[in-house]
Structure formats: structure tokens, C-alpha cells
Amino acid sequence: MELQKLHTDVLIIGGGTAGCYAAITIAENSPDTNVIICEKANIRRSGCLAAGVNALNAYITEGHTPQDYVDYARQDAEGIVRGDLLLTMSEQLNEVTAHLERLGLVILKDENGNYVTRGKRNLKINGENIKPLLADAVYRLKNVTVLNHINMTDFSVTDDRINGAFGFNTQKEIFYSISAKAVIICTGGAAGLYQPNNTGFSRHKMWYPPFNTGAGYAMGIRAGAEMTTFEMRFIALRCKDTIAPTGTLAQGVSAKQVNALGEVYENKYGLTTSQRVHGTVMENLNGRGPCYLKTEGITSEQDDALLKAYLNMAPSQTIKWLESGKMPSQQNVEIEGTEPYIVGGHTASGYWVDTDRETTIHGLFAAGDVAGGCPQKYVTGALAEGKIAAGSALKYICSHDLHEVVDEEISRHFSKAEKFLNGENARFDCEQLEEAMQTVMDRYAGGIRTNYRYNEKQLAAANERISQIEALTETLCAHDMHELMSIYELRERLTVCKSLIAHLEARKETRWHSFAENLDYPERDDENYLCYINSKLENGRIKIIKRRTVKEDEHYEHNDRQ
Amino acid sequence: MSIMIDSEKCIGCGRCAEVCPGNLIVMDSKAYMKYPKDCWGCTSCIKECSAGAVKFFLGADMGGRGSLVYTRQQGDILTWVMECPDGSVKEIRINRKESNRY
Ligand SMILES: Cc1cc2nc3c(=O)[nH]c(=O)nc-3n(C[C@H](O)[C@H](O)[C@H](O)COP(=O)(O)OP(=O)(O)OC[C@H]3O[C@@H](n4cnc5c(N)ncnc54)[C@H](O)[C@@H]3O)c2cc1C
Ligand code: SF4
Ligand code: SF4
């Protein structure tokens, strides 16, 4: 591999929703600041927004306030949220929405020019081209350099302060060492930890992008950053087979969740996100599955509108309807829970940040699905966090100089990658080890096939086996840069799995059914667990830190770094 | 679910390989789907291909029946074309300036 050393004021890792918007914010507020975006694919269609999205799920609609949004998210998460993060995010939602519209996003309006809402917090849009719109806006910026097809793998940190990061080109044999005054991590969440719904040819037909592999979490964990609430996994309720979102059916045509007997069951179990999944699991366990969204009886105009709406975000579902010859008006849509994901934009897993989105590593900021404590972010929340993190990074670089990444550290990371590229005669390949990891997580750490449940004995077994698989990754070899990326992705996932298992083990209660259902402790325990479970890697061991809840009237700072 | 690339139609512009969020398509003189089992089904490559060479299908394991889908673009109109195994063709036209109704 060739080695390239670069320098910049701000390095943004991950050119997705939050990353692109962070770059836009920096350029608007400080046009002379140099920014590099490193993106593993191409910012035009990378990350969650690749296929398009169906609605803006987070917006403060007429008659509501940002505080209402905080209250909603807190209730849905049974209390384990950061009030300060939710409020500062919510206060930005409408402004970033207006900006999206200026960038060209089509948002439905009524005859008076007001946005048409869907439910209490959503706006109706045509979100098929939302990512190209963001990317075009980034390419118009003068001092922002976009490096596509660069997979970042590690931070350089000295004395808890960021110096930069390392990565490599996914196509050409080039290794990068990038020194920066500040870094914003925006790599999204982690999919592919657990065995997915489809296990064969269509194994990657999952809800969360299979290419968001938890790199940002793993980089932070290895660098000693504090992480929060990994145990609050996200499990989505989705259309069977296609794993397409269900909100359009539930909210758009008011389809209710019904069991095989046609009974509406959603009210029996509660309406929080986790209770909706749990209800579906219980109906199946009690012999009343499969479960459906009741669409039979809608009109044929509604059928046509649904076919189009799904083409704008999850085209497989439209093709499925067309191929089967049965429209939703003629046949209820079967639903199932997905495998668990770690995603801080829906639940609260991720970096432990202060109110300004700085992590516990000085000069490293986090935004979007990679940042913890602030669930229900969705698209607009990720933009809002990108904006807040960018503002904080700009402030930080005013008083901090560049710390050049030292050659000795570069050569350590460079040789590690070279070792995989030069290896021969590997016993196992990456795909086998990935399957092994997913099977272990599924069976022992509460996957689909154990109805998302686990006990302490199983978690201990999971931990042991994941450690064994991790050791085997040292023997892998890569024949090209794409295979090298696969090895690093697998290693990232294994790092995330180990932290996740430690978190599941540490929360000795069941606060959220399905998301964290501990069979040894089936009840909620507010006396001991109305707090955050945080973790930090110290001398190769995961240390668990319990922290008190933070309310929205507080400006939280990292005063007691552990 | 995955995609296939019709090399007769492919003009080798490289756009599909450039945008795939998983880096799954590689270029020779023509585009080639190297990792069919790793496809997420986002259809980015299909919308990027002006030659209509990239086609999408549902895997049999998720109930697919062999139809192939590609897109055509004219101004604001994005047309999704579905070629069914029985030879019939279905089309759905979407105006990119119109919002979803739901
Ligand atoms: C299928 C789907 C549908 C959704 N629908 C809606 C909706 O209708 N409405 C709504 O409001 N929200 C929706 N969401 C949620 C919303 O899209 C996300 O919460 C939000 O986009 C997350 O933004 P992000 O910047 O954190 O992640 P992303 O936008 O995914 O960005 C992460 C970026 O990091 C890159 N990256 C990852 N690893 C590396 C690495 N190692 N090196 C370099 N780059 C890397 C990725 O390629 C990607 O570009 C949906 C999400 C999904 C997955
Ligand atoms: S976008 Fe279409 S024409 Fe261009 S390389 Fe890909 S398949 Fe070929
Ligand atoms: S559908 Fe998406 S993931 Fe699949 S090859 Fe095309 S761009 Fe890549």
C-alpha cells in the first residue's frame, strides 16, 4: 500500500445525514475552515438515506413545543434519555427542515402553504432524492474536500485528546493518516451483529444499512471513549420478507396490528416502540400468529398511493405486491420483528456526549445514530446534531492547535493492514466468522430465534464465544482492498458485540420488553436502574459506570471523567 | 434480493459502481456485480443507470417470482418498469415534484 498523510482543521468521518450537514454548517459559519469528509462509499447515496425516506419523523408541529417532543421520547424510552440532548435537538428540528426544503426537498403543503402533518410529529415528503440533495449542497462548498471510498478504522488519541484518524481506500491500495484539530464522528449505527430475518441469498435485505457496521462505536471503544445505553437495542417492526418500514401503513392508512384471528392486539400490550414489538412476539408465542397490519378494505386509490410511496423508500415492497398480484386492499400485510440493531437515532445507544456533543475524548464530537442518550432523532434529528456538533467543533479549533499524528503510530496501523493483505493460507474466511458471530448473538444474546430474550448464563456463553471468534480474526487474510474492509468490518462488529453483552449483563432488570428482556430479572426496577449504564474499555476490560439521569434544564459537562 | 447487470446494454460509465453504498459493483470495461449476496436492495445503482442496464429482482427466499425492475428518467418523471416472467410489462410513473400522499 501507498501511504498518504493529510492535514485539516476538521475531519468528518462518515458523509451520511449528520456528516453532510456538519460540513454544510461549518462552511456557512466559517467559510475559511478546511474540512475533509471521509466516506466509505460515496456521499451521493451512502448510509441510511440511500433508498430514500418516506417522511420526516421528527418535527414540532403546530400547537406543540420542543418540550413535548422531549416528553414523548422520554416516555417511549421509559425514562432512560438525556433531557439536555433531546431538548437542544428538538429546538433545531424545524429550522433544519426549512433548510432541507431550501435545498430542494419536496414537502407536502396545504392550500395555505402550511406543511401537511402525518400524526403528531411527522411531515409528508417525497424523500427519494434526499441524499443526492444533501450531497449536491456539500459539493458546492469551497473548503470542503470529499474523499469517497475511504473506510476509516481507528482514531489517533494522546492523553484523551484527538490527533486524527486512520483509514484506507476501498478500491486502491492507499492508506491514509489524517491529522485534524477536531474530528466529528458520524458513522451511523451498527447492523449485522445478529443473525438477520433472511439468512440465505437475501441476507442483506435488512432494515438498517448492512454497510453501517458500527465502525464509529468500535473506534471510540478502542480509544477509551465512554459509551452509553448499548443495552437498549433497537428492534424494528417491519413488513415480512422485505423488511420495509410499516409507519406508512400504520400512520398513512391507519392500519392496526391484528393477529391471525383478526383481533386488534396492539392495545393489549401498550403502544411504545418496544411494546409494539413485544406484543407481536407474544401473539406468535401464544399461537395467534402470524401478525399483520390490517390493510384489507382500503380503497384502490390508497393501493396506488402506497405502491408509489414504497417505491420512494423501500422498492422491494412495491415489487412484492405487484408480483403476488395481491394489493394491500386485498391482503393484510404480514409483519415481523427484525434482528436487534444498535442505533442511537432510534434508541439511545452510543457515545456519551456533553450537551455540546463532545465525547469524553477532547476534540472528538459525535452526531447522528452514533451518538447516545438522544433517541427518536431520525433524519431531522441527525441533521440537528450535525449542526450542533459542527458549531462546537468550530469553537474548539479556535483554541486548539493541530497535534500531528506521529510516524510510529502510523506505521503500527499501516503494518496491521499490510499483515492482512500479505497473509496466506487462512483457515477461515471472513464470511464464516461473520456467520459464527451472528449465530452466537442470535442464540445467546437475545436474537430473533430466542424471542429477543436472554439470561446471565447465556450472556456469559456469548461473551466467551465472541472472544474466541475475535481471536480467530487475527488469522484472516485479504486478497484485495474490499476484503480488507470486510475484515475490519467484522472486527468492528465483534468489538461492539462485546460491549453490548456487557451492557445487557449490567442492566439487571427488564425495562423494555424485547429491546432488553433479561429473563433473570423480568421486572422493571426504578430504585436501582433509573440511571444510565455506561462503559469504558480500560486495560482490555470493559468497565461499567452507572450515571444519574440528566434533565433538560442542565448543561451537562464531562466533569467527572472516569 | 439483488441486482443483475445487462452487459449488452451497459455503456461502461461507472456511475452504478461509484454510488453503491456497499461498494459491491466493480468496473472492467463494463460494470459487474461482484457481491450479489451483499446487496441491500436500495436501488441507488438502478436510478443512476441511464442505459437501463441495471435490473433489480427479489430473491426466491423472500418470495420473489422472477420479475426484473429498472427505471427510466425524463425530467421530473421517474418511471419504474417491471418485466414479468410471462412477458408482460408494468409501469409506474412518479413525479419527483409530488410528495407522497401517506
Ligand atoms: C431504511 C431506513 C429508513 C428510514 N426512514 C426514515 C424516515 O422515513 N423518516 C425519518 O425521519 N427517518 C428515517 N430513518 C432514520 C434516519 O434515516 C437515520 O436515523 C439518519 O439518517 C441517520 O443519520 P446518520 O448520519 O447517523 O447515519 P447515516 O446517514 O447512515 O450516515 C453514516 C455514514 O457513515 C458512513 N460510514 C460508515 N462507516 C464508515 C467508516 N468506517 N468510514 C467512513 N465512513 C463510514 C456510511 O457509509 C454513511 O454514509 C430511516 C432509516 C433507515 C435505515
Ligand atoms: S450505470 Fe449502467 S451504463 Fe453505467 S456502468 Fe453501470 S450498468 Fe453500465
Ligand atoms: S441495490 Fe444498492 S446495495 Fe444493491 S448493488 Fe445497487 S446500489 Fe448496491
Taken in order of first residue, the domains within chain B and their CATH numbers are: 2-95 (3.30.70.20)
DSSP, collapsed to helix, strand or coil, labels residue B43 as coil
All domains in chain A, ordered by first residue: 2-54+61-101+129-232+340-408 (3.50.50.60), 237-337 (3.90.700.10), 424-548 (1.20.58.100)
pLDDT, one tens digit per residue, over A156-194 is 999 999 999 999 999 999 999 999 999 999 999 999 999
Q: Measured between beta carbons, which residues in chain A are less than 8 angstroms from residue B62? A: 198, 202, 205, 241-242, 316, 320
- The amino acid at residue A465 is R
Burial class (CB in 10 A: 0-12, 13-18, 19+), A274: buried
Q: Which residue of B has its CA nearest to A240?
A: B62
The number of beta carbons lying within 10 Å of the beta carbon of residue A161 is: 13
pLDDT, one tens digit per residue, over B83-96 is 999 999 999 999 99
Contact B101 A124 (CB under 8 A): yes
Q: Three cell numbers at A134?
A: 444533501
> Is the CB of B17 inside a 6 Å radius of any atom of ligand 3?
no
- Confidence band of A530 (pLDDT split at 50, 70, 90): very high
Contact B100 A54 (CB under 8 A): yes
- The average confidence (pLDDT) of chain A is 97
Give the torsion through C-alpha atoms of A413, A415, A420, A424, to 10 deg: -170
ipTM for the predicted complex comes to: 0.96
Using the Cβ of B62 and the Cβ atoms of chain A, whether some distance falls under 8 Å is answered with yes
pLDDT, one tens digit per residue, over A406-439 is 999 999 999 999 999 999 988 999 999 999 999 9
pLDDT for res A501: 98
- The number of residues in chain B equals 102
Query: Which distant-in-sequence residues (6+ apart) come within 8 Å of A432 by Cβ?
Result: none
For residue A290, whether the previous peptide bond is cis, meaning omega lies within 30 degrees of 0, is: yes
Give kind and range of the element (H or E) at residue B23: none
- What integer is the mean pLDDT of A520-546? 98
A251, pLDDT greater than 90: no
User: Rounded CA gap, A96 and A90, in Å?
Assistant: 10
Q: How far is the CA of B42 from the centre of ligand 3 (A)?
A: 5
CA distance A197 to chain B (A): 10
User: Rounded CA gap, A248 and A118, in Å?
Assistant: 9
pLDDT for res B54: 97
Q: Measured between beta carbons, which residues in chain A are less than 8 angstroms from residue B94? A: 128, 308, 311-312
A294, pLDDT greater than 80: yes
- What integer is the mean pLDDT of A264-289? 95
Contact A46 B21 (CB under 8 A): yes
- Confidence band of A333 (pLDDT split at 50, 70, 90): very high
Regarding beta strands A237-239 and A333-337, do their DSSP bridges make them parallel or antiparallel, or are they unpaired? antiparallel
- Confidence band of A119 (pLDDT split at 50, 70, 90): confident
Using left for φ > 0, alpha for ψ between -120 and 50, and beta otherwise, residue A148 falls in beta
Share of chain A above pLDDT 90, in %: 97
- Confidence band of A453 (pLDDT split at 50, 70, 90): very high
Nearest partner of A141 among A227, A55, A25, judged by Cα: A25
- Of chain B, the end-to-end C-alpha distance in Å amounts to 25
> Is the CB of B31 inside a 6 Å radius of any atom of ligand 3?
no
Q: Measured between beta carbons, which residues in chain A are less than 8 angstroms from residue B67? A: 319, 322-323
Q: What residues line ligand 1, using a CB cutoff of 6 Å?
A: A 13-19, 38-41, 46-49, 53-58, 151-152, 186-188, 207-209, 211-212, 215, 245, 345, 368-370, 377-379, 382; B 21
pLDDT for res B49: 96
Nearest partner of A120 among A76, A67, A60, judged by Cα: A60
Distances (CA, A) of A440 to A98, A342, A504, A528, A532: 45, 16, 15, 29, 26
User: Which of A201, A241, A304, A320 best tests the B interface by mutation, with the highest count of B CBs <10 A?
Assistant: A201
User: Rounded CA gap, A247 and A545, in Å?
Assistant: 36
- Confidence band of A110 (pLDDT split at 50, 70, 90): very high
CB nearest B42 (choices: A51, A127, A305): A51
Secondary structure letter of residue A149 according to DSSP:
T
Q: How far is the CA of B5 from the centre of ligand 2 (A)?
A: 8
pTM, two decimal places: 0.98
> Is the CB of B14 inside a 6 Å radius of any atom of ligand 3?
no
Give kind and range of the element (H or E) at residue B95: strand B89-95
